[in-house]
A and B are shown apart, each in its own frame.
Chain A
Amino acid sequence: MSDRSRDILNILGIVFILGLLVKIVQTINNETKTQIISDEGAAALKDPKKRALINNAIEASKAEYLKTGIWNAPEVDI
Chain B
Amino acid sequence: MGLSIGFLFLLLSIVIPGFIFKRVYFFGEFSKQFTTKDPILKSILYGILPGIVIHLLLIPIFELFTPNFVSVGSYVSFQKSLFSDGGLSPQRVSEIDNSFFPFVTYLFVSYIFSAILAFGTSRLIFKKGYDVRWKILRFQNHWYYIFSGKFLDFPRVISVHEHLGVAENKENKENKVSDIIFVWADIVVKSSDQKNNFYSGVVADYELDSKDISQLDKIYLTDTHRYSEVKRPTIGTNLHGGRVIEKKKIPGEIFILDAKNAENINLTFVRKKQRAEGSSDSKDAVSKSPKIRYVFLEFLILITVFYYSLALLFKFNHIKFVMYTTYIQETNGHYFTRIITFLFYYQIVALFIKDSKKRKKHKRSISFIIICLTLYLNYHWLYDLFYKIISPLCKTYLSQP
Contact = CB atoms under 8 A, between A and B. Distances in A.
24 contacts: A24-B369, A31-B123, A31-B127, A32-B27, A32-B28, A33-B28, A34-B29, A36-B144, A36-B183, A36-B204, A36-B206, A37-B181, A38-B182, A41-B270, A51-B223, A54-B270, A57-B270, A58-B184, A62-B268, A73-B269, A75-B272, A76-B272, A77-B275, A78-B273
Given A20-B369, A45-B223, A58-B268, A76 B127 contact: no
A78 B123 contact: no
A51 B368 CA distance: 35
A31 B147 CA distance: 18
Interface in B6-54: 27-30
Contact of B123 (A32, A40, A44): A32
Contacts of A57: 270
A32 B148 CA distance: 13
A34 B268 contact: no
A28 interface: yes
Interface in A11-56: 16, 20, 23-25, 27-28, 31-38, 40-42, 44-45, 51, 54-55
Contacts of A51: 223
Contact of B180 (A32, A38, A45, A78): A38
Contacts of A41: 181-182, 202, 270
Interface residues of A, number: 33
A2 to B, nearest CB: 13
B372 interface: yes
Nearest to B205: A36
B367 interface: yes
B354 interface: no
Contacts of B248: none
B368 A40 contact: no
Nearest to B152: A73
Interface in B265-297: 268-275
Residue of B144, B204, B275 with most partner-chain A CB within 10 A: B204
Contacts of B110: none
A36 B182 contact: yes
A39 to B, nearest CB: 9
Nearest to A25: B119
